[in-house]
Structure 1
Amino acid sequence: MIRYRDTVVSTGCAEHELAKAEEMLAAFDETRRRVKRRRHRYPTGHIYFISRPDDPSYPVKVGYTGASLYMRVANVQVGNPHRLDVIASCEAHYTTELKLHLRLGEGRLLGEWFARSELLQEAMSAAKGGRLEEWLGIVSMPPDPPAPVIEKRPARGTERVLAAASRRPTSAKRPYRPAAAVDTPTGAR
């Protein structure tokens, strides 16, 4: 298992497959660092699968966007001679992309592009049905309980100064002076 903050991801590795689990952890950390820089503005958005709808062997770009899906397709289309389209998508939190990339890791070609496989087809079907997080095994965690409210005590001596101030009448002719200056005999400063 990979644990990161409130996220728990299964690597699918047995205890004797430590090297494979460490590779998956390294891939998770690399993706998390790459994604961390650009995702904070849009915590919820869409996971998308973009490819050529007419070619079942063409690679699939699996990513996340907090903006419009079709603007994202237009950005990916630039420089690509083949017509691309959204094959599947679903609403999700941006951390879901990290878990999805980890799960599809063996089929990664370059960056966010993956070779078509049965596992990728299952992910696309789950996304079309709105069950991607369930398919990934993501369990929604309850929110943290609110922090207890701690009443702040006044600073030391503040109570005495406020009590003295409340006993003394004040006016524009007679401004407030601290109690220590008031109680001293006249002329003895």
Structure 2
Amino acid sequence: MHNQRITSDTVIEMDQVLPSTMPNRCKIELLLQTSLNETEESWTTTSRQYIEQLDSPELSLEKIAELLKCKRFITQRLARIFFAYTNHDEVIENLNKCQIGKLMHVLNGTMEVRALVLFKAICNNNNHADYLTNAKLQEFFQQYFKDLKILDENRRHEAVQILLEKFHLDQVSL
């Protein structure tokens, strides 16, 4: 990049701009923040049209979860991670169209960004935790199975243990 003239048609990859010593996690965090800060005009046409078709200026997390085809607790965690500006214990019940659009834009981002979003949803916070604990994984899957409403509490615990054992997550800290 040194002494190279940048024109309007120059393509600059993130790796060219960021120092090579910057860890991948930091690069992906920057990509995530960039996606969240992009204007509505830069979203895909599909995302913009979808948001414009929403009947209400705000939707409940329940409705958003239905739109995203995911569990409400996951939508609630994502809303708290991305849109709780003051306090992560803050209860968020609704998102406006712009916030819904940003969430959809991020969830349709690169695989790396979506993996980071999943990591943050499992950790249930927006800090820079570098690892998942078995306790956080158990908490996440317990809630997930609870929302399925097909297993009683004992069976949920058993299902989570089987899942962790199957992937050898019961033996190591991630």
TM-score (ref. length: structure 2): 0.29
Name which one, 1 or 2, has greater alpha-carbon Rg: 1
Higher helix share: 2
TM-score (ref. length: structure 1): 0.27
